[in-house]
Every structure is written in structure tokens, then in C-alpha cells.
Structure 1
Amino acid sequence: MPDDDGVLRETGRLTLRRFTMADVDRLVALDADPEVMRFLTNGVPTPAATIRDEVLPRLLAQYGRHPGLGRWAALDRFTGEFLGWLALDPSDDGGEAELGYRLRRAVWGHGLATEGARALVRHAFDTVGVRRVWAQTMAVNDRSRAVMARAGLRYARTFHLVFDDPIPGTEHGEVEYELLRADWPAIRQEWDAALRAR
């Protein structure tokens, strides 16, 4: 669970902490990058007013309803620089968590999404005790799918949604990956063995 400073977890290179209303400008800048938003809104940024008046208040309210779950600011552990966010968005009953991540393009390709996602998967099962962690993305979003797989989630299904204004690639569908509590011990054992072998 988060400490008094709102820090949920630290990894080798990341600090994951609770958001505050002071993070509006950081989130606006993150969502202003068309490449970051490519598979979400076809590159259209999230308006600042939406982040300030809707997104952040919703995220802050989640912390109280489902302790240990929610969306977390991802900071460089050594410089404190804002890198993006990682999430365990809770289901209505808090028994499941949707894994998510959105990082600044400048830090893509360095394994930070995988590092943070693995830390959150471990937290979800070992600390919170959820029954399932799952994630969804567009089928054509190879980068995101690779993070899901490296975070221990396995392909579950492809499905198709209808959008009023579909973005390129929508015709290939959406994919869902998942990891169930019953399968977590084997994944944890594999990760721990890899750490010991270093």
C-alpha cells in the first residue's frame, strides 16, 4: 500500500506515486504527443479542462475506494522527472485490475513500461490479492502487446468494437490479455529465478 508520501512502489529505475491535482500540466503534456495518443485517439490530445475537471478527480477518488489500486505517476527514481503513468484500474468490486501504461515517447524502448508493469502485477497479486489482472489494446499495437506479454499476461481473446470515428487499424480488432491468480505463482517463480540468476 502507498506510504505517507503517496509512493506505492519503487523499482530499479522508477518511483510510482499517487497523482495529485498538481499533476495537471504533466498529464496535458503527455497526452499532447500525437504518437503517445496514436492508438487511443488517433493522435488527438486530451483537453486540459478534461484532465483537470474529469480525469484527475476520478483518479483521486479511486485511491480511497480501492486502496492499493489506481493510476500512478511514474517518475525517474533518481531525478524525479515525470515519465508518464502506470495503472491498476480497479473493477467495480476491486477484485480485478486493468493494467495500463502511458509513457513519454522520449523514454520508449528502454524497458520502463515492462519494469513498471511487472512491479504492478506483483503488487496486484501479492499485496492487494486480486483474482485477475487484464489489459486491452488494439490488435495492431505491437509495442503494447509486447509489454503485456513481458508482464506475464497471456493472450485471451480478440474482439471487435464499433466506433463512430474509427482510427486506422480498428478493422483488426482489439485484444485482451490476462493473468489469473491461479497462474501467478508460476510467473512469480520464473521472475524470481531470473533475478537470482543475474
Structure 2
Amino acid sequence: MTDRLVLRRFEPADLEDLAALHADPAVMRFIDDGRPVAREVVAGQTLPGILAGYQRLPAGLGRFALQERRSGGFVGWASLVPANSVGLEEHPGLELGYRIRPSMWGRGYAAEGARALILRAFEYAGDGPDIHGCESVAATTMTVNTASRRVMEKVGLRYVRTFFADWPDAVEGSEHGDVVYERSLSELRRE
């Protein structure tokens, strides 16, 4: 929980909010093939995968619904999971992710939710040297996705590199590549 957000596990009852988020062309513009995701895919794959992650992943990790404390409204989600996205195949740490409803953009919710997940993961790690055996947090986005890059910077990640992946479907702006941001957990812990 933060001053403005409740971070909670997804539930089957969240299907409509999650499906609406993933069906929004503005949300999906810089993700995967840049296309909205059909409700059937969210119902049959995305949400079941999120729910299964709570059983599979260590405590404190996964994808969590962001809900406004004041109104109770669905804002989007933030995640902290073992790194596995394109560009992070060799990364030994955790991967940060987030998606926010466009009506909530520009309010700092993505950074607030992401920061809370990082801090929550530290709580589960206690005074140990790392979180769940990893040493850093990383995130990726398209180079042209300046809003997402600002979120990464706000939560303490720093630009590391640009890479060019061979995507099956080119998204407008993909010719500029994708970026990786990263920060060691010891640096994040000192902040």
C-alpha cells in the first residue's frame, strides 16, 4: 500500500478491468506487436498466468493490481518478476513492468506502484544482500517510449544500453530499438 494506491493480488473478478486495459490501443502501442489483446486471450491466458504466478513465484514477486485508495478504482498493474523479456535473456535479476489506464497517465501511479513493489521485495529479503537471490532490477521499453523511460528513471533505474531485436511485426518507432534500464539492488537499497 502507498499513500494513494493499494497493491493487491489479482482475482478472477478482475477480468473485465484487465481485459479493458489490455484492449486499449494506447496502452499496447509500445508492447509486443503494438496491438490490443482480445478479451478471450486475457481470460484464457493472461489472467490465469498471473494467478498461477502467485503459486510459482517467491513471496513479494508477481503482477499486482493497482487500485486507487480513495475511489477504489482500477488503475492498472505493476510487476516484479524474474527477468525474461526480450533483451533481458541473460539478466540474472528481477524485471520491473507496469501498465496504467490512459485516464490515469501523468499522475505518477506507475512510478508509485513500481517503487512500492521494489520496497516490498526488500521487506521479504530482510537484511540479506539481495532479493530472492538476485542482484539487480531491470526494465525494457522501446526507445521512443519516453513516458515509460521517465518512470524507470523515477524509480532509480539507469539507462544501460540500446538493443535491436528482430520483431516479427514492426511497430512504429521500432527502428530506433529498445532500451534497457537497470540498477543494482545495493544501490536501490541505499536510496
Task: Give TM class, smaller chain.
Answer: 0.7 to 0.9
Distance (Å, rounded) in 2 between the aligned partners of 1:139 and 1:24: 30
Amino acid at match of 1:83: V
Partner Cα distance (2:121, 2:185) in 1:
10
Cα deviation code 1:76-110 (max 9, x no counterpart): 01221111111112248xx7321111010011111
Give the drift of 1:122.
1.7
Query: Where do 1:32-181 residues align within 5 Å?
Result: 32-41=23-32, 43-66=34-57, 67-91=59-83, 96-128=93-125, 129=131, 130-181=134-185
**Structure 1 unaligned residues grouped into runs of 5+:** 1-9, 189-198
**Could you say what the CA RMSD is over the residues aligned between the two structures, in angstroms?**
1.7
Which residue matches 1:20?
A: 11
Q: Which has the higher contact order (CA 8 A, sep 6+)?
A: 2
CA deviation after TM superposition for structure 1 residue 15, in Å:
0.2
Q: CA deviation at 1:43?
A: 4.9
Q: Tell me the alpha carbon deviations over residues 129-159 of structure 1, each in whole angstroms, 9 at most, x when there is no partner.
A: 2422110000110000000000011111110
Q: Structure 1 residues 32-41 or 51-60, which shifts more?
A: 32-41
Mapped contact 2:60–2:117 kept (Cα < 8 A):
no
Task: Identify the range of structure 1 (145-154 vs 19-28) with the bigger mean alpha-carbon deviation.
Answer: 19-28
1:191 alignment partner in structure 2: none
- Give SS of 2:44's match: helix
Deviations 1:45-77 (A, max 9, x none): 211111111111111111112221000000001
For residues 38 and 76 of structure 2, the distance between their equivalents in structure 1, rounded to whole angstroms, comes to 17
Contact 1:139–1:158, Cα closer than 8 Å, also in 2: yes
Aligned partners of 2:148, 2:16: CA distance in 1, in Å? 25
TM-score, normalization: structure 2?
A: 0.86
Please name the residue that 1:196 is paired with. none
Give the Cα separation in 2 of the matches to 1:60 and 1:71.
Answer: 9
Which stretches of structure 1, 4 residues or longer, exceed 6 Å deviation after superposition?
A: none
Identity of aligned residues (%): 47
Asked if the contact 1:148–1:177 (Cα under 8 Å) also holds between the matched residues in 2, the reply is yes
What secondary structure, in the 3-state scheme, does the structure 2 residue paired with 1:35 have? helix
Secondary structure of the structure 2 residue equivalent to 1:40: coil
The offset of 1:118, in angstroms, is 1.2
